[in-house]
Structure 1
């Protein structure tokens, strides 16, 4: 497994991995907003200080995570592993690389938000040292409310 920092020209790869991973949430109410993203929206985010890591197995992209540096720490989102590779520890390896990156640049905290109903992600993050520090209800424009928890890990 090789995990590399992404560059702007990787936007199509990042988008493809994200869509493949988030398709399982297409029937959620509401579906994940990740499914509305385009290669262009990923590129635009990259131009606004977003960064990403991409995991490769046998030179094939199998997972990625997008992140930004914020005042409170390194905030990650859209952690994605293609369905046929899920459950093999790839997400944990990506998050470990993210921690290594945060340590290298001197950022002591990693944060994320998770839909409360996606228990497997909460369990994944909890299993590697993240804890819940906040809870909120996100009000979508279509009138649907989503319960979201905020998690963080101190390095």
Structure 2
């Protein structure tokens, strides 16, 4: 599997991968806000400093992740693997690329938020060393509340 650090010109690929992966949450209450994003909104976010990686198998994009750096560490979101490639360890490889990027840039913590209604994602992150450090209810503008957990992984540095 090969990884490419994203550029603004990759917004359409990012959008396609994300929409394909997040369609399974279309009937969730509420549906994932990922499904409301556009190529233009992703492009604008990349121009404002958002970063990401796209994973390729046989030169075809199969997954991606977006992230931001802040004082706490590397916050990632929208981890996406196209449905026909799910269950093949691609998400773990994408997360490993994030870890490598963080370590190479002196970042000590990866973190994310996960809907409590998606235990398979909580299990995925737990299986590779992430821990839940907070539970909260996110209140959406439409009046719907979503229970989420915040998860983090402390990275080890070899000095």
Superposition TM-score, scaled by structure 1 size: 0.99
Root-mean-square deviation (CA), in Å?
0.4
Matches of residues 110-125 of structure 1 in structure 2 within 5 Å? 110-125=110-125
CA separation in 1, counterparts of 2:38 and 2:143?
A: 24
Aligned twin of 1:60: 60
Please list the CA deviations of residues 53-102 of structure 1 after superposition, one character each: whole Å capped at 9, or x if unmatched: 00000110000000000110000000000000000000000000000000
User: Tell me, which stretches of 5 or more residues in structure 1 are unaligned?
Assistant: none
Give the secondary-structure state (helix, strand or coil) at the position aligned to 2:62: strand
> Matched residue pairs, number?
155
Runs of 4+ in 1 over 3 A off after TM superposition: none
CA separation in 2, counterparts of 1:133 and 1:48?
A: 28
User: Tell me, which stretches of 5 or more residues in structure 2 are unaligned?
Assistant: none
CA separation in 1, counterparts of 2:119 and 2:35?
A: 20
Please list the CA deviations of residues 8-58 of structure 1 after superposition, one character each: whole Å capped at 9, or x if unmatched: 100000000000000000000000000000000000000111001000001
CA separation in 2, counterparts of 1:48 and 1:152?
A: 24
